[in-house]
Amino acid sequence: MTGSNLGPDWQRLPDGTAFRRAARVVVFDDDGRVLLARGHDADQPERSWYFTIGGGIEPGETPREAAVRELTEETSLVVDPDRLVGPVLTRAAEFDFLAETVRQDEVFYLAHVRTGVSVSTHGWTAVERGFMDEVAWWHPEDLAQVSVEIFPAELPELLRAWRQGWDGTVLALGLQREDVAITGSLPDTDDGDGQMR
């Protein structure tokens, strides 16, 4: 069932919820900083949050291909799909987006780039320009001190571990609503194919 006004990569579940599959990239530079986007709620502009780079998987794309496409569109960074690490994490997220509750099944990868590489937001779509405010480099330790939400909420802890290298474990956070986990926990793993079950 299709027909979402959110964009072509969104569909409607039988209960009417807008749904899409998405790929996200956790980008580190040589100094161990992570590149995050900051956005705001369309209905509550005073509410903002930090999140990883990424977006919907288009028809015919693999999650890995979608991850590098989204990375280029949102930051101008070009990374070869084969150089992505992972998938390192999966989760299903329910959140408010453009005045409705949506669900997004996400798979996360890691990427590494040189410190000082140029980042640009010129490739943002009209939808992205409507709710995204900036992309910026962060030291993982500093994220624990920010007063706005971070998605997923476990990200600061995960960043500190991933900065040292990936141990091969694909974490499955389960279904999360906003920043509150509904099912799943940090130590759970999936079967390694990056798909939510």
What the chain holds in terms of domains, given with CATH numbers, is: 19-181 (3.90.79.10)
pLDDT at 185: 36
Inter-CA distances, 18 with 6, 7, 54, 97, 138, Å:
8, 10, 17, 10, 31
pLDDT at 189: 36
Cα angle 101-105-110, degrees, rounded to a multiple of 5:
125
Q: What digits encode the pLDDT tens for the residues 38-52?
A: 987 766 777 788 999
Higher pLDDT, 85 or 19: 85
The span from the CA of 82 to the CA of 172, in Å, is 22
The span from the CA of 135 to the CA of 26, in Å, is 12
Residue percentage of the chain with pLDDT more than 70: 83
* DSSP assignment string, 69-107: HHHHHHH-----GGG-EEEEEEEEEEEEETTEEEEEEEE
- DSSP bridge partners of 105: 21, 92
Q: What digits encode the pLDDT tens for the residues 106-159?
A: 999 999 999 999 999 888 777 777 777 899 999 999 998 888 889 898 999 999
